[in-house]
Structure 1
Amino acid sequence: MNYYVIYDGNCNLCVTLVQLLETLDQGKLFRYVPMQDEQTLSQWEITSTDCQQGMMLIDGNDMERRWQGSNAAEEIGRLLPLGSVFVEAYRALPGMKWAGDRFYEQIRDNRYRLFGKRSLTYESVYCVDDSCKN
């Protein structure tokens, strides 16, 4: 089973988190597409306007199953080994989901100011079609 993580390849925070996921998963579950890869995203009917709402996660076995923003982050966490325990505990705490959603929105909307912007778009070695591997 593969999931596609669509991330901002120009955002320092986003790239750091993708690199962490790459290390943890080593391409077994997740493949990565930067939001700047308009050609791939257009094949999936994803626009740059869609990307403004935050990172996305797409189920590679059912492309209609999509998560975005903090929901995508939670689903990625849930899919990681032992991650579901932490995600369920987080969701069970009163008000945490609401607070987490607002926190995500603030980070999303201010990511370049808070964490900086890369001069080159980061492309993962675990891309959709393996064309990015050296």
Structure 2
Amino acid sequence: MARWPDDDVILYDGVCIFCSRWVRFVAARDKAKRFRFTPIQSEYGAKLARTFGIDPDDPDTNAVIHGGEAFMKSDAALTVLSLLPGWGWVRMLFAVPKLLRDPFYSLIARNRYSIFGKYDSCFVPDADLRARVIE
């Protein structure tokens, strides 16, 4: 399994409105500023995506690097949430088999643009969040 030298990095689709809202949701609750973010459209994000088998031109998942390991689909979302203050209870959702969690995740991911919309270019975060974005 590939490893990544940076830790607690969230890879997201920067033109996806839902994905960008996810980044803002996490950043607002991550008081320790543990997580950093990288859009898949950036050079760094595309390299990270390719390392873990995600097509940067047609991403079907977000990912989080935690402990040097990549978590994708529902594992990524649950890992991030479980590391946020007050969200530790989410860990119990890992008991639900991936065979049940991931198809639901994939359904939303496949239809995210038609459900939530799409930006013409990567969203531009405010200055505070911008300091946590790796490009």
Considering the TM-score relative to the shorter chain, is it more than 0.5? yes
Aligned-CA RMSD value: 2.6
Deviations 1:19-43 (A, max 9, x none): 1111111561100101111x21355
Structure-2 change in CA distance of 1:9 and 1:41 (3 Å): closer
Deviations 1:61-107 (A, max 9, x none): 63xx111111110110111123232221x2335x6x43321111001
For the Cα contact (< 8 Å) 2:13–2:59, is it kept in 1? no
- Note the C-alpha offset of 1:57: 0.5
Q: SS in structure 1 opposite 2:113? A: helix
Q: Does 1:25 align with 2:30?
A: yes
For the Cα contact (< 8 Å) 1:2–1:29, is it kept in 2? no
| Count of residues paired in the alignment | 122
Aligned to 2:102: 101
Structure-2 change in CA distance of 1:27 and 1:12 (3 Å): farther
Unaligned runs of 5+ in 1: 130-134
Aligned to 2:113: 112
Q: What letter matches 1:128 in structure 2? A: I
Q: Does 1:77 align with 2:81?
A: yes
Q: SS in structure 2 opposite 1:33? A: strand
Q: Does 1:40 align with 2:44?
A: yes
Question: Bigger CA drift: 112-121 or 22-31?
Answer: 22-31
Q: Normalised by the size of structure 2, how large is the TM-score?
A: 0.75
Unaligned runs of 5+ in 2: 1-5
Question: Bigger CA drift: 76-85 or 39-48?
Answer: 39-48
- Note the C-alpha offset of 1:119: 1.4
Decide which of 33, 45, 49 is 2:55's aligned counterpart: 49
Separation of aligned partners in 2, 1:116 and 1:92: 32
